[in-house]
Amino acid sequence: MKFTGYILAAATTTLSAAPTFAQEVSFSTGPAKTVIEGLIDCGSRSRPSAVGEITSEDGTVRTVPAATHYQTAPHAPDLYNACAGIEPAGLSDIDLDAIQTFDAGGTEAFTAYIFGDNYFELYVNGQLIAVDSVPFTPFNASVVKFTAQRPLNLAIMGVDWEENLGLGSEEGRGSSYYPGDAGLVMQLQDASGNIIAITDTDWRAQTFYVSPLQDRDCLVAEGQIRDSSSCSTAAASDGRAFSAAYWDLPADWMTAGFDDSSWPNAVAYSNETVGVDNKPGYTNFTELFDAADADASFIWSSNLVLDNLVLLRKTID
């Protein structure tokens, strides 16, 4: 591995205002300490959306899986949310006129339909509009109406939640340390119902938290390259000795003036790869996410499994 530049950290309680080039990785080993047992309680229908803290080797206290605005920001209105008892069979069952509209400046109206695995925070023109109402499970979908002025700078923080805090894994498929996958899909319409944006490979995507790492040397981290494609994604019976990698979130990453030109393009993933065929928050709205004339892709970084905190950006003229 080659590491150049200054030290940054992902999912920390502090954001860096340093330039976007030359960011250095830092690591932690082992589990984090639980500081919040769960952000929501949906009983047996959900996994605990716990939050943890761990000190990485550069001395920075990290929040895992991410430092979010879940407890302070408006929650995105529900398109589908079994935890709240909102389970429409399709878009026609929803009164869109009754959905709250957020103000991001400007007067033009837009509607975003979002399905995230697991959690998202949506910024428009640098302003935090709304956050996902369900951090982990059951899988939900959101509808976010807002007014803004073009060009639209869309910035999304995507988080793949975890049960084993600091170890990027959960109970699954017969293993206590199963590294689950991620993904986010969105369709954006204007006031006339025209589709003006979908998630695709034109978006930029950068990774800020990678876990679990069974062997640190598998990670290629140089400048803006954060490539975990050579790292094992195998489940384990005991992952307590595994590591995690972090980079700081630039303080202005969500603003229109942020230079994301050195970030990689997002990678598109199929519905089958993400595994949404049994998720009604997705399948009940295929006319949106799989529109015949504008089929939105699930997008993420280059590693759908190990990259757990990813920032996504795109500007719509």
In this predicted structure, what is the pLDDT of residue 45? Answer: 78
Question: Residue 18 above 70 pLDDT?
Answer: no
In this predicted structure, what is the pLDDT of residue 1? Answer: 36
Give start and end residues of each alpha helix (H) in the chain: 271-274, 280-283, 286-289
Residue 41's CB is within 10 A of a number of other CB atoms, namely 11
How far is C-alpha 192 from the geometric centre of its chain's CA atoms?
28
Burial class (CB in 10 A: 0-12, 13-18, 19+), 290: middle
Terminal-residue alpha carbon distance, the chain: 39
**Length of the chain in terms of residues written:** 317
User: From CA 88, how far away is CA 78, in angstroms rounded?
Assistant: 10
Check residue 108 and give left, alpha or beta (phi > 0: left; psi -120 to 50: alpha): beta
Q: Which of 165, 161, 81, 155 is nearest to 121 (CA)?
A: 155
Q: What residues contact residue 241 under an 8 Å CB cut-off, 6+ apart?
A: 29, 30
**Could you tell me the pLDDT band of residue 11, with boundaries at 50, 70 and 90?**
very low
Residue 265 pairs with which residues in a beta bridge? Answer: 204
Tens of pLDDT along 157-196? Answer: 999 999 999 999 999 989 999 999 999 999 999 999 999 9
User: From CA 136, how far away is CA 117, in angstroms rounded?
Assistant: 8
Percent of the chain with pLDDT over 90: 90
Contact (Cβ atoms closer than 8 angstroms) between residue 32 and residue 52: yes
> Which two tokens mark 24?
């250095």
Tally helices (H) and strands (E) across the chain.
Answer: 3, 26
**Could you tell me the pLDDT band of residue 43, with boundaries at 50, 70 and 90?**
confident
Q: Which of 192, 166, 138 is nearest to 29 (CA)?
A: 166
Contact (Cβ atoms closer than 8 angstroms) between residue 206 and residue 302: no
Judged by DSSP in three states, 227 sits in strand
Tens of pLDDT along 65-102? Answer: 999 999 999 999 999 999 999 999 999 999 999 999 99
**Could you tell me the pLDDT band of residue 106, with boundaries at 50, 70 and 90?**
very high
Judged by DSSP in three states, 216 sits in helix
Question: Residue 10 above 80 pLDDT?
Answer: no
User: From CA 285, how far away is CA 80, in angstroms rounded?
Assistant: 9
In this predicted structure, what is the pLDDT of residue 23? Answer: 75
User: From CA 191, how far away is CA 257, in angstroms rounded?
Assistant: 26
Tens of pLDDT along 279-298? Answer: 999 999 999 999 999 999 99
Q: How many CA atoms lie within 13 A of 301 on its CB side?
A: 26
Q: What is the pTM of this model?
A: 0.93
Residue 149's CB is within 10 A of a number of other CB atoms, namely 12
Q: How many CA atoms lie within 13 A of 200 on its CB side?
A: 13
More confident residue, 3 or 307: 307
Tens of pLDDT along 196-250? Answer: 999 999 999 999 999 999 999 999 999 899 999 999 999 999 999 999 999 999 9
Judged by DSSP in three states, 241 sits in coil
User: From CA 238, how far away is CA 148, in angstroms rounded?
Assistant: 48
Tens of pLDDT along 133-142? Answer: 999 999 999 9
Q: How far is CA 177 from CA 37, 68, 227, 234, 284, in A?
A: 19, 24, 21, 9, 31
Tell me the domain boundaries of the chain: 6-316
